[in-house]
Structure 1
């Protein structure tokens, strides 16, 4: 059986990190060589014992790897696969897609620089999807476009050509639609599409392309269109190109692709449909439009030859100025007079108060998370920007300084152009239903963050708030806030890194801060312009042996941020860090190796396990190798669903990922058994071995297939020596002990039966 394969990351070369020689965990930092570079120690042996404290008592060792098995608490092992899923979701919800590989490029006319091919945003697609008003002869237009790979949609001005083109491309409803730059070279486009289709990061089959009023149309001839249509046919794609009815065709061969668009319905009908959609209340929209003042306003706005977009814009303005059932007509009129300004600026400027704007910013950072999570973050930001007033004469506040029952959630959603979506979210105790809050337009998270960063002097407050979120117990909040910091670094890398990320990277007390730095740096690392800056920042952390916590951060960056761009380079960097005897560095290595496996399980798992096995046989790295292996065993879990026979219910399976890989691939099975034999024989991490195997046994107790695979693995492991066999039998006996509050009797009996059978065969 196999779990779904992880999507392969786009390969990219990553410069090798500077070598970091091992250092002791207890002694003073090594002396520096001329020029400020640290001198490498003579060997990888631990440093001298820690000196006694002021009272003469020896300092307790908490950082070495050997000390971890004696620590009061077991090192945390976060779910690596869940972390990978959340990282991808954060990229999708905040940035709008996968970071690896960046935007796709298309060729430009005249040999100019490339421009991005952009996914059509929901700000354009949703109004068409949910508030579409069919023009005259729409059935004729749809029939004429059906089956055509290339359509030239022609119409007179102000007839809604773009909206009609989007509506045609929305069939089928799940099609990916991309907007082409007006400067695209239509002669070169077929070759680019063919090249893209043969690459590793190809556009999805059946994609739709929108091209509005191309700049170079005068030079486009019919044979070019024929080549383009043939390329689209091979890709099962469709392109709709919009042209004005007065724009001439280069030759008669282009005529076969032309479909004339019928006349649009009246502006008033479009206004009514859009307002009903915006308010999610047809009756309320009808009552508002029946108001004489609103009717007069609409008549004024629609006078003369005006675009259909004016009707859609008026619906937006009315919805924003609605208070209960009353519309401030004067404010709507002023807004429409100013609508030459970008729609986004008008929207954000019209948010009524600090709490609402803080909710807009919090939603930009935590887009797609639970409503309560976003609301709590908004309150934190509002407290920073608009906290309690100065106390009165008695030095006491008189609550509330904000009305607790101000605007309802429904009113806030309307103001924010946001929506609630039922979702399932994984928490500390399992997966349960939540109400996820997200912007209706998928580009709003980027726009809001950039607008607030650029237009308001709130840099200190905004970064302080994001740093607070970085310590949130909820991993999703930490990943989303790290991604937001990374987005801000695209505009001000040096400022964001020196003011926030570097201090977090060197934090000795909060490992979560170091994780968030890695989440943040993956954003600029995927940008070719900023990659050298990321490399330089990480190299400084990596090579600074005086700060093992900074080196632990560097380890996480090599897994999360640089690993998707070059797994081999990341493994090389982690290999050097594995020679340092420090628990936080080892934890960073373990989590990064988990990230590499999750990023591309088929390609990276053998590389990671081979490297890990080599560490176990390396005197300088054996402790780190054992510790990292046990962390990986606990942190990597694979969940998948198998269809039931003959329409029966699906079966949900949960496996330890390393055990599942060993069950599927014989070469990995040998590696896994060898690593378990090594950690058992070593005796360095007796308690951590028990914890890791106990976690696997818990999964085996719930699944017969996992139980069989675990039994076979433990039998093979125990066959190494009498000592290994005795250790395994002792561990297994504990799973069915009468004082075990979480027993695994079926797993215990399965392993013991398999071991007895093996003994009988011998």
Structure 2
């Protein structure tokens, strides 16, 4: 989590950043303070990736505008019957379960397009009562999960929040029931273990199932989890999807008649391309159903309805909102959809103040009881739900607000920016001001919102918002410049310009602020989309004496590894290469980057991510041992390295498997080097005293035992007391 710094004003979230002149950069050996601060609050990379994923989901471009729609991963049907919320409590933390309506289940059973992918899913899941379905978004994972359970003869269906823990599922399973978890959050999914899943499966009766759906981006830390995982392949062809949806809506006979008509299929080909999502196919089916007459669908009416795009629908609703306050709330929700209501309402108030100029003739005070919260939420077509939201103290319950139609957020933002000239500057000022907000989720949404607007006005947004953020002395604002480029950097018509811009920022002649901003672009913003380019550019930027540039590189590498654990080996190899023999131009950056990875990538239960990966990957084990060798012997951060080793030791103290892996690792790091063995020994002895920063006597004893068996300069024999 980012710490406040000079140039930041978190206590004034609505203060606009001014243009900032170049300032001398801190030397890279002054970055130890950030290492120590981040060690106290790890998982910054995980929080950033989670916030960016949420922003991407909110601003995705393929949402479907269907009134009162019920969504199942790319599946849209009409009607209001969806999910009914219940609470289950057995004296521990309350678990929210959601009763899935029969209509949704019937749709999954009768309106789901069955293809080879589903047949393979059924075959793979036949011997399991607990299944994890993994696939990219839009493949129909949740609908497949419901159909799978319905075909098993199950009649009762309940769903859980994506943040539910596997232990909470274990204590709430019921007989003759399908237990569904749609889109389990990455942090929870990655923490799953084969043992915990086996325990849940053992509690299930013959006609009970637990089905979890996860993104294809998830990498499970425990390899044993894969015995429960089934990959859902590509969906059927668009025509088959259309046939299934329309059959469910109008029946097989009328569907066949409609699809045999040349004019219907001509319109289908015009509207649905190879890149269209299942959502768009479902919307087309819905339009056919709504325009159905005595002779079947009225094609011209369907064409006219299609032309009335989502933008027109949203514009009519937005204009109907009677007050500036309601419009500000709608705009704020468009940016912050899915965040706590109080956060959305507070930012809406700050926007309303920018939009409502004070009148010198106004003497009457507004009636503060004129509108209830319920009336305001209904007016902006939103809903409140109780959910657990992350905080520094752990997950806390909060009322979260969302639009009823998930297609609204990007449309509302673009509508206000494109159509209302007198408001456009106020909107950009508001987004700039949110750069100083104390909540990382709000700041990242502000950057993502800027990126959405940049799609249609790139030069203006770049000049007025993104470039000032990139030139800022504030680390927080430089990060936002990077995040704002994520959306335009993935647009074919802007990708070349964005990459050229970042190359300019990364040039040796550029200021340290721009170089630091460029380094952050190649983390969570665009690094995952362009991994080769990202590592190449970070390698060039690593020749730096600037603490800010070095830290920016370090945080970006942490985000890359957190998002894709498969990149850990490549990233570690690169960092070790930077450290070289301890005197190269990239050595300080290499040491700083490794220690950032070691402090930030720490899971609350599994411990250090790199340590966990090294237990099963010899490439990572060797690179990790080499990194510890270099940092413990380094000139700049050796003291910080010993302190971070103590953090790892404290985690290993209570976990035998973690301790075994750590002891093996440090024994390898010390092999062949008397100096390193002495450093590790002195460090381990400090863990034996309660007066030190770390008290880990079992870990210390095991490390010292391993070192004591080191013969001369040979690789150790790892037989030590745990």
TM-score interval (norm. to shorter): 0.5 to 0.7
1:493-539 per-position Cα deviation (integer Å, ceiling 9, x unaligned):
1100111100110102x100111111110100111011122122212
1:673-731 per-position Cα deviation (integer Å, ceiling 9, x unaligned):
01100111123202321342233234324433222222222232233423222322333
TM-superposed CA distance for 1:448, in Å, is: 1.1
TM-superposed CA distance for 1:470, in Å, is: 1.8
- What's 1:491 paired with? 456
- What's 1:585 paired with? 549
Q: Distance in 2 between matches of 1:582 and 1:75?
A: 18
- What's 1:358 paired with? 328
Aligned residue among 530, 533, 554 for 2:497: 533
- Contact map agreement 1:93 1:367 (CA 8 A) in 2: yes
Q: 1:736 to 1:575 in 2, by over 3 A?
A: same
Q: Distance in 2 between matches of 1:625 and 1:584?
A: 14
Residues 172-183 of structure 1 mapped to structure 2, 5 A cutoff: 172=147
Q: 1:701 to 1:436 in 2, by over 3 A?
A: farther
- What's 2:676 paired with? 724
Q: 1:142 to 1:717 in 2, by over 3 A?
A: closer
Establish whether residue 470 from structure 1 lines up as the match of residue 435 from structure 2: yes
Q: Distance in 1 between matches of 2:633 and 2:591?
A: 11
SS in 1 for 2:59: helix
TM-superposed CA distance for 1:552, in Å, is: 0.6
TM-superposed CA distance for 1:742, in Å, is: 6.2
- What's 1:367 paired with? 337
Q: 1:576 to 1:391 in 2, by over 3 A?
A: farther
Q: Distance in 2 between matches of 1:570 and 1:407?
A: 50
Establish whether residue 521 from structure 1 lines up as the match of residue 485 from structure 2: yes
Establish whether residue 218 from structure 1 lines up as the match of residue 218 from structure 2: no
Q: Distance in 2 between matches of 1:484 and 1:468?
A: 13
1:82-123 per-position Cα deviation (integer Å, ceiling 9, x unaligned):
321221121112326xxxxxxxxxxxxxxxxxxxxx454564
- What's 1:628 paired with? 593
- Contact map agreement 1:673 1:717 (CA 8 A) in 2: yes
- What's 2:467 paired with? 502
- What's 2:4 paired with? none
- Contact map agreement 2:632 2:642 (CA 8 A) in 1: no
Q: 1:480 to 1:72 in 2, by over 3 A?
A: closer
TM-superposed CA distance for 1:492, in Å, is: 0.5
Residues 523-602 of structure 1 mapped to structure 2, 5 A cutoff: 523-543=487-507, 545-602=509-566
- What's 1:80 paired with? 45
Q: Distance in 1 between matches of 2:311 and 2:588?
A: 62
Q: 1:204 to 1:437 in 2, by over 3 A?
A: farther
SS in 1 for 2:78: helix
Q: Distance in 2 between matches of 1:758 and 1:405?
A: 77
Establish whether residue 415 from structure 1 lines up as the match of residue 379 from structure 2: yes
Q: 1:130 to 1:532 in 2, by over 3 A?
A: same
- How many residues align? The count is 517
TM-superposed CA distance for 1:554, in Å, is: 0.5
1:641-694 per-position Cα deviation (integer Å, ceiling 9, x unaligned):
xxxxxxxxxxxx322111111112011100100110011112320232134223
1:401-433 per-position Cα deviation (integer Å, ceiling 9, x unaligned):
554444222222111111112222221222222
Q: Distance in 2 between matches of 1:427 and 1:93?
A: 20
Establish whether residue 68 from structure 1 lines up as the match of residue 31 from structure 2: yes
TM-superposed CA distance for 1:623, in Å, is: 1.2
TM-superposed CA distance for 1:545, in Å, is: 2.5
Aligned residue among 649, 663, 669 for 2:615: 663
- Contact map agreement 2:326 2:376 (CA 8 A) in 1: yes
Q: Distance in 2 between matches of 1:209 and 1:693?
A: 55
Q: Distance in 2 between matches of 1:142 and 1:527?
A: 35
TM-superposed CA distance for 1:210, in Å, is: 3.8
* Unmatched segments (≥5 aa) in structure 2: 1-22, 71-76, 83-102, 116-142, 148-156, 158-179, 183-230, 247-254, 270-280
Q: Distance in 2 between matches of 1:673 and 1:495?
A: 49
Q: Distance in 1 between matches of 2:454 and 2:333?
A: 19
- Contact map agreement 1:74 1:688 (CA 8 A) in 2: no
- Contact map agreement 1:122 1:440 (CA 8 A) in 2: no
Q: Distance in 2 between matches of 1:630 and 1:572?
A: 20
Q: Distance in 1 between matches of 2:108 and 2:511?
A: 68
Establish whether residue 348 from structure 1 lines up as the match of residue 292 from structure 2: no
SS in 1 for 2:371: coil
Q: 1:591 to 1:340 in 2, by over 3 A?
A: closer
TM-superposed CA distance for 1:558, in Å, is: 2.0
Q: Distance in 2 between matches of 1:547 and 1:340?
A: 43
Q: Distance in 1 between matches of 2:491 and 2:637?
A: 41
Establish whether residue 430 from structure 1 lines up as the match of residue 388 from structure 2: no
Residues 260-299 of structure 1 mapped to structure 2, 5 A cutoff: none
- Contact map agreement 2:68 2:80 (CA 8 A) in 1: no
Q: Distance in 1 between matches of 2:342 and 2:395?
A: 16
Please give the TM-score of this superposition, normalised by the length of structure 2: 0.63
SS in 2 for 1:130: coil
Q: Distance in 2 between matches of 1:662 and 1:170?
A: 34
Please give the TM-score of this superposition, normalised by the length of structure 1: 0.60
Q: 1:685 to 1:387 in 2, by over 3 A?
A: farther
- Contact map agreement 2:455 2:488 (CA 8 A) in 1: yes
- What's 2:476 paired with? 512
Residues 35-74 of structure 1 mapped to structure 2, 5 A cutoff: 63-69=26-32, 74=37
Q: 1:460 to 1:750 in 2, by over 3 A?
A: farther
Establish whether residue 710 from structure 1 lines up as the match of residue 675 from structure 2: no
Q: 1:742 to 1:668 in 2, by over 3 A?
A: closer
- What's 2:207 paired with? none
TM-superposed CA distance for 1:446, in Å, is: 1.1
Q: Distance in 1 between matches of 2:655 and 2:237?
A: 40
TM-superposed CA distance for 1:383, in Å, is: 2.4
Q: 1:586 to 1:128 in 2, by over 3 A?
A: same
1:140-164 per-position Cα deviation (integer Å, ceiling 9, x unaligned):
x9999679869xxxxxxxxxxxxxx
Q: Distance in 2 between matches of 1:248 and 1:620?
A: 73
1:553-607 per-position Cα deviation (integer Å, ceiling 9, x unaligned):
01111223332222111111111110122111111111221222233322x2222
Q: 1:215 to 1:484 in 2, by over 3 A?
A: farther
Over the aligned positions, Cα root-mean-square deviation in angstroms equals 4.4
TM-superposed CA distance for 1:738, in Å, is: 2.9
TM-superposed CA distance for 1:443, in Å, is: 0.7
Q: Distance in 2 between matches of 1:71 and 1:524?
A: 31
SS in 1 for 2:31: helix
- What's 2:274 paired with? none
Q: 1:401 to 1:412 in 2, by over 3 A?
A: same
Q: 1:144 to 1:654 in 2, by over 3 A?
A: closer
SS in 1 for 2:663: helix
Q: 1:363 to 1:747 in 2, by over 3 A?
A: farther
TM-superposed CA distance for 1:215, in Å, is: 10
Q: Distance in 2 between matches of 1:723 and 1:145?
A: 70
- What's 1:460 paired with? 425
- What's 1:673 paired with? 625
